[in-house]
Structure 1
């Protein structure tokens, strides 16, 4: 790569703040180290009390370049904020697979989805005293049919300066075929971007970070791949965390969160950014 090429500014976003105390602590540590520059808050999570919010605010005050977003959540094992949201499974949102299926079958009611997304934005504003810098979706639910149009409309009306996350990769078609999960996100994101363009809602120009976290693997190698071809202001999602009882009760992505934290907090990550001509800078 030419030494004269301008640095690519990327967003490295840690999802799931509010899911568990160990996840929160890992994210705050990375903000303090300036190894991430965005985090998405799950306002329906069990670890989003006043202490956890104030601790995050303190780290953000010390690192004002770090963006703060809402991690809109409409899938299990979490519960809705609104009373009448349907369909549910035992009082909880449906699993991500069942949610996608239900949206394809058009089983969701627009007004119920709208009310729940609005409640989550309002909860974010109450907790942090301002609108989110951006809004994304837990398990990429913002991309799903039925939900995407409501999501875009609610964000535009209630957080008009916010951008939203699309999850399409800037790769040639042949290079997309080896990762079925990422390929599905590519397909869903194509329609999502068109709807955002029509609505005048901004979104990230590129995306990376989808891989098999349950099976785990070498996160350094994965991050190297994520940075290849990512455009300026593209976004990489990550899921650092420390394992605790709350996380064990909620999620099947466990040890890989600690592996992600270990790489992002270590010495090899800044070297990879430099070698990739990338920076975690807004400007």
Structure 2
């Protein structure tokens, strides 16, 4: 099995950035996705430059922080803040043109930072919204980079490998939870598969504490992702750590 442990929310805050870099340097994370326009953006770029082996995609957002574009009447409030997750998914009147404008602005911002995106995914799976998914599929095709699925039940083929994304490593996390996710995938698909596991390593800082209720769990995730026992258990199962460069090579 090939395992992509992708750390979401890079750029959210300095504490998040430090946790992700720790899980890259000392743990099983090889891939992350970055939120631009958030408090930790500049810090994230600085850390990326001294950790060039960490592969970085774009974590598109429509449910957190300030929009990069103005006048998004179906996506933001009067102050330009994105609506929360509940209001976003409950909104049947989201304008696809506004989604596309904002997504392209975020991608342009990422590229302006001197970074090369390995793939696209999104905060709170926001591009899975019916008004957004066709838009992001078009953009991913233009950029010729992979797009993470939002359906954890969907299995696709990439070359000779099966691929599935899992968002199950979340909440009351443990080493056994992570290994169970891996074991179930091996049982379903055999060793010739790619499993992407979403994770959120971080250390708590004031910015994260103010923005997210998922805090102490992130610290626990960092501990698990860095655990020597997890690394040994994965090696015993024949699991190889990889990133989205491998997916692109297969697809190409």
TM-score by length of 2: 0.85
Contact 1:12 1:235 in 2 (8 A): yes
Residues 169 and 198, structure 2, Cα contact 8 Å, conserved in 1:
no
Partner of 2:87: 98
In the TM superposition, what is the alpha-carbon distance from 1:129 to its structure 2 partner?
A: 4.0
CA distance in 2, matches of 1:237, 1:129: 21
Per-residue deviation, 1:223: 0.4
Aligned to 2:99: 113
In structure 2, C-alpha distance between the alignment counterparts of 1:32 and 1:245, rounded to whole Å: 24
Is it true that 1:81 corresponds to 2:68 in the alignment?
A: yes
SS class of match (2:6) = strand
Q: Tell me which protein shows more strand as a share of its residues.
A: 2
The answer for the alignment partner of 1:124 in structure 2 is 110
Alpha-carbon separation, structure 2, partners of 1:244 and 1:45 = 14
Q: 1:275 to 1:43 in 2, by over 3 A?
A: same
The alpha-carbon distance between structure 1 residues 34 and 218, as it changes in their structure 2 partners (threshold 3 A), is closer
Structure 2 residue 225 is matched with structure 1 residue 264: yes
RMSD across aligned positions (CA): 2.3
Q: TM-score by structure 1 length?
A: 0.76
Structure 1, unaligned runs of 5 or more = 1-7, 170-185, 198-203
Which residue of 2 is the match for residue 28 of structure 1? 21
Aligned residues: 234
**How far is the alpha carbon of 1:13 from its aligned partner?**
0.2
Tell me whether 1:134 sits opposite 2:134 in the alignment. Answer: no
